Amino acid sequence: MDLSTLTKKIDYTFLKPTATRNEIKQFCQEAIQYRFNVVFINPYYLSFAKHQLADQPIKIGIPIGFSLGSATTRTKVFETKEAVRSGASEIDMLINLGAMKSKLYDLVKQDISEVIKAAEGALTKVIIETALLTQEEKRVAAEIACEAGADFVKTSTGFNGGGATVEDVKRLKQIVGPTIGVKAAGGIRTYNDAMKMIEAGADRLGTSGAISIVTGKTSTQSY
């Protein structure tokens, strides 16, 4: 796969809770250098990153309900509205995992629907955290995300005990079909990792290892 095609599929990600302004600045400079289309950062740094990326065709994505998913819907809606108002173009929200495990599917769907509504057209991806779900729960969660109007279903946060697997990506793509995207995230560190996910059906890759993937070199920062 040629470099420009690959970079368009990567959401370059830096969600480390101890991130400093200098690290965010360097991260944004790397995004510009390697021409990534989208960067994902924690909400606190949205305005700072927007300034760093001024006049660049790079979208900024923000995680919502991160990284546990157990915030109230009202809180997720507030987070989403604030992110979009401040310049976020993409939203990655984590489902209410407790509600999912409790089979409160109407609540899970409402949670997603309200965030999508609050996003006001910003691309919205729904994280189902595959490592914590059974095969049946993965199916139901993906179907609920589709019914709620999500643009993408995403495998993982990478923070809760597991990341993307080829098997999960294949299964999710079969469930959501061609009109909904699948984002693989968590543990994707090399070009071979990336190609396996893309071949399995991933439309996007969320990774802090994007530079290693596209160049074989390791970033000077640990994201």
Q: Enumerate the active-site residues.
A: 92, 154, 183
Question: Long-range contact list for 105-110, CB < 8 A, 24+ apart?
Answer: 105/140, 105/144, 108/141, 108/144, 109/144, 109/147, 109/148, 110/73
**220 burial type by CB count under 10 A (0-12 exposed, 13-18 middle, 19+ buried):** exposed
How far apart (Å, rounded) are the C-alpha atoms in residues 173 and 202?
Answer: 8
| Under 8 Å between Cβ of 1 and 198 | yes
Using the 8-state DSSP alphabet, how is residue 174 labeled?
A: H
Q: Which of 168, 166, 171 is nearest to 198 (CA)?
A: 166
Bridge partner residues of 181 (DSSP): 152
How far is the CA of 173 from the CAs of 45, 94, 116, in angstroms? 32, 18, 21
Q: Are 141 and 103 in contact (CB under 8 A)?
A: no
The residue assigned the tokens 């994902």 is 40
The answer to whether the CB of 70 falls within 8 A of the CB of 97 is yes
